[in-house]
Amino acid sequence: MATITEAKIIVTSPGRNFVTLKITTSDGVTGLGDATLNGRELAVAHYLQDHVAPLLPGRDPDRIEDMWQYLYKGAYWRRGPVTMTAIAAVDTALWDIKGKVAGMPVYDLLGGRARDSAMVYGHASGATLPALLDDVERFQDLGYRAVRVQAAVPGLSGTYGVRHGTVYEPAGGSLPEEQVWSTEAYLDFAPHYLAAVREKFGSGLHLLHDVHHRLTPTEAAHFGRRVEDLRLFWMEDPTPAEAQESFRGIRQATTTPIAVGEVFNSVWDCQQLITERLIDYIRASVVHAGGITHLRRIFNLAELYQVRTGSHGATDLSPVSMAAAVHLDVTVPNFGVQEYMEHDPLTHEVFRPAYELSDGALHPSDVPGLGVELDEEPAARFPYEPKYLPVHRRTDGSVHDW
Ligand code: EZ4
Ligand code: CO
């Protein structure tokens, strides 16, 4: 029996911070798992270094389910983003190893492809409406079939989700930038630009919109109704989801499809949302929801209730995460869409993924395992730099929901 001989934590910042776990076996096989938690990277790196890596040498890398149970139940302290991201890294690395040992791409270990590729959505944005329309056109010209649409809200100094430069990068300053948010200004403006995009591009393009948890359930119900005739693919994160039952009112008020879950870390964050069919798309990801093993459970539960998948896939999810996501996406019958953002070119000096984007979809590689390599020599040239997501305040100065 091969055993795990080494677990190495690699922190690198090629364009942005990433934490990666590299597991090596006694047969010399290596596997990678993403452990990046935006703005809290070092917490996961230390959790892995201090509390997980010492437990791994001598264990059987084949027993993926047992490893998951051992790390989840064995720790006593369950759930939470730091723990679940650390478990995800181990889980993903073991799937990578199993694939390499078996000589199979991970999608074949998961039962084989239920589709050829995973449709993705791109991120169009603009400081003004004409700029936004140009950006949507750019994505359409690139072959995207689905586009998330965000415009800067007039009167606010900055609007989260609007790209500056060529790469979308949500994390900014070495301390969190503080931005003012006005729900009134947003609600007055957003339906107009979404309507303008639908009018210009017609019904053939899937349009998505991210609310970033900024509305109350009542405001979200109002917003969903106002944009109902635009037939959005989804409105994302309309309201914070700690109280899952708060989605009932939104659901009853509007047929605009609802997506939520990029901050979820376990099935317990969405059990009620799924089993009561309060959402249409579940956005949990491999890296933040306990790896392929646990995310597959969430997706399987969702399938029973006709909830489809739409996993988070911003630039803070490394190419290791994206590779794992695409393998899982192509195997689940209830796949909906995969979020995808091009990484900074520097990121590809360290990570070499073999998945390919064409026709607005990601195609998994058929090489054994996940099909992604990490080059440690360039990784060492990009040391960690603290970078944080912004914090939002209401016009009265109080901290706003994300
Ligand atoms: O805020 O990835 O849908 N995508 C998003 C992203 C997330 C960041 C958090 O790290 O909402 O911009
Ligand atoms: Co989002």
Q: Report pLDDT digits (tens) over 260-289.
A: 999 999 999 999 999 999 999 999 999 999
47: three-class secondary structure by DSSP: helix
Q: Which of 72, 144, 160, 193 is catalytic?
A: 160
pLDDT reported for residue 46:
98
Mean pLDDT, range 211-216, rounded to an integer: 97
Asked if residue 87 lies in contact with residue 48, where contact means CB atoms within 8 angstroms, the answer is: no
261 lines ligand 1 (CB under 6 A): no
Among protein residues, the one whose CA lies closest to atom 6 of ligand 1: 314
d(C-alpha 246, C-alpha 145), whole Å: 31
pLDDT reported for residue 318:
98
Structure tokens at 232: 């959005």
In the chain, the amino acid numbered 382 is: F
Query: What are the residues facing 119 on neighbouring strands?
Result: 361
Examine the pLDDT at 166 and tell me if it is beyond 90. no
13 lines ligand 1 (CB under 6 A): no
d(C-alpha 323, C-alpha 86), whole Å: 17
170 lines ligand 1 (CB under 6 A): yes
pLDDT reported for residue 232:
98
Ligand 1 atom nearest the C-alpha of 236 is: 3
Ligand 1 atom nearest the C-alpha of 402 is: 1
What does the DSSP 8-state code read for residue 268?
Answer: G
pLDDT reported for residue 399:
96
pLDDT reported for residue 77:
97
Average per-residue pLDDT for the chain: 97
Residue 169 binned pLDDT confidence (cut-offs 50, 70, 90): confident
Mean pLDDT, range 201-226, rounded to an integer: 98
In the chain, the amino acid numbered 116 is: D
181: three-class secondary structure by DSSP: coil
What does the DSSP 8-state code read for residue 105?
Answer: B
Q: In angstroms, what is the span from residue 151 Cα to ligand 2's centroid?
A: 14
Examine the pLDDT at 157 and tell me if it is beyond 90. no
The helix, strand and coil proportions of the chain, stated in percent and rounded to the nearest 5, come to 40, 20, 45
In the chain, the amino acid numbered 259 is: A
Q: In angstroms, what is the span from residue 170 Cα to ligand 1's centroid?
A: 7
Residue with tokens 């099935």: 267
The full DSSP string for 107-133 is HHHTT--SSS-EEEEEEEEESSHHHHH
Examine the pLDDT at 376 and tell me if it is beyond 90. yes
Asked if residue 158 lies in contact with residue 25, where contact means CB atoms within 8 angstroms, the answer is: no
Q: Report pLDDT digits (tens) over 315-367.
A: 999 999 999 999 999 999 999 999 999 999 999 999 999 999 999 999 999 99
- DSSP tally for the chain: helices H, then strands E: 13, 17
147: three-class secondary structure by DSSP: strand
| Percent of the chain whose predicted confidence (pLDDT) is above 90 | 96
| Percent of the chain whose predicted confidence (pLDDT) is above 70 | 100
Residue 173 binned pLDDT confidence (cut-offs 50, 70, 90): confident
The answer, as to whether pTM is greater than 0.85, is yes
Asked if residue 389 lies in contact with residue 177, where contact means CB atoms within 8 angstroms, the answer is: no
C-alpha distances (whole Å) from 33 to each of 49, 76, 144 are 14, 23, 28
Told to judge if 212 belongs to the known catalytic residues of this protein, a careful annotator would answer yes
41 lines ligand 1 (CB under 6 A): no
Q: Report pLDDT digits (tens) over 10-28.
A: 999 999 999 999 999 999 9
393: three-class secondary structure by DSSP: strand
The full DSSP string for 192-259 is HHHHHHHHHHGGGSEEEEE-TT-S-HHHHHHHHHHTGGG--SEEE--S--SSGGGHHHHHHH--S-EE
In the chain, the amino acid numbered 265 is: N
Told to judge if 160 belongs to the known catalytic residues of this protein, a careful annotator would answer yes
Q: Which of 212, 213, 327, 343 is catalytic?
A: 212
H or E stretch covering 275: helix 271-275
Ligand 1 atom nearest the C-alpha of 39 is: 10
Ligand 1 atom nearest the C-alpha of 314 is: 2
329: three-class secondary structure by DSSP: helix
Q: In angstroms, what is the span from residue 277 Cα to ligand 1's centroid?
A: 24
